[in-house]
Structure 1
């Protein structure tokens, strides 16, 4: 942008879904493949939520509850590189608490798409998820498994 070109800020609408992130600061944000990701930060307290925003003006609440996920963080950084989100540093709600997760890597490709109306069962030490309704795509025949004991990642089950 040249110096003679004025910058124009436009506030985006809050989103068409009923869910969206709360007001916050000290959060991390990055973009990858047409999505914007927001993790943690602070409102009146430290937050442990994870959100994805699409160019279709929709927010998706991503699960951030696995044992491998970071705690409630603020002041951290997040970057995207080759299909992975890298979260580094930050501080917990107390400056005296040591963060157990200095670097957290989130594989975007290995996460199933958010859905409703699916079925899920626990078989041994894994959760199996089948089908469901995925936003504008309609019903799905995806079959996913989450191994509770090994990786807590989502490889597709065939």
Structure 2
């Protein structure tokens, strides 16, 4: 707390927006890695499928590629975390017959700036995995991504708790 009589400096500082930059949005995912901030998807008037990187040092936005077989489609209310040079994106797909058969997890290789196929060492059709969801929380703890809760259209709110072991991808 500032002493009485001293000015109260703001805790927040607006950052200038250079061009190009992402459009206004909500329900997106955001995380940081090595001085960069990554923003993926969300909504404006419709669901967005764009992917951006903000360099804190250069104070500039770069639009990244979000196409190809390994890239996610348009997502909203998904999560994104970073671990050892990779971004892990989970959930946020529109519900369809297709989403039930697909694990809603995507991996972005930061060094090579590309989406890579997401296949763990023990991946098989019988492997237990979380279903698509929106509005969940995700954090990195040690060498795992922990996912809690969320919302599924038919089931409603979830109290499921999942752990993704990153060592399964190395």
TM-score, shorter chain, exceeding 0.5: yes
Unaligned runs of 5+ in 1: 113-158
Counterpart CA distance in 1 for 2:65 and 2:91 is 20
Alignment correspondent of 2:59:
57
Residue 12 (structure 1) aligned to one of 10, 15, 29: 15
- Once the 2 structures are TM-superposed, how far is the Cα of residue 90 of structure 1 from its aligned partner? 1.1
Contact 1:52/1:59 (<8 A) preserved:
yes
1:42 aligned residue: 43
Determine the C-alpha separation between the residues in 2 that align with 1:57 and 1:14.
8
Alpha-carbon contact 1:69-1:104 (below 8 Å) kept: yes
Q: Tell me the residue number matched to 1:83.
A: 85
Q: How much has 1:11 moved relative to structure 2?
A: 1.2
Distance 1:91 1:111, change over 3 A: closer
Segment of structure 1 superposing worse, 5-14 or 73-82: 5-14
Give the aligned length: 105
Q: Cα distance 1:101–1:43, how it changes in 2: closer, same or farther (>3 A)?
A: farther
How much does 1:57 deviate? 1.2
Q: Distance in 2 between matches of 1:20 and 1:97?
A: 34
Q: How does 1:3-152 map to 2 (within 5 A)?
A: 4=1, 8-15=11-18, 18-55=19-56, 56-92=58-94, 95-96=95-96, 98-99=98-99, 100-111=102-113
Runs of 4+ in structure 1 deviating by more than 3 angstroms, as ranges, are: 95-101
Query: Alignment partner of 1:91: what SS?
Result: coil
CA distance in structure 1 between the aligned counterparts of 2:22 and 2:41, rounded to whole angstroms? 10
Where 2:111 maps in the other structure, the secondary structure is helix
Aligned-partner Cα distance in 2 for 1:98–1:78? 21
Instruction: State the superposition RMSD in angstroms.
Output: 1.9
Specify whether residues 102 and 108 from structure 1 end up closer, same or farther in structure 2 by C-alpha distance, changes over 3 A only. Answer: same
Mapped contact 1:34–1:54 kept (Cα < 8 A):
yes
TM-score relative to the length of structure 1? 0.61
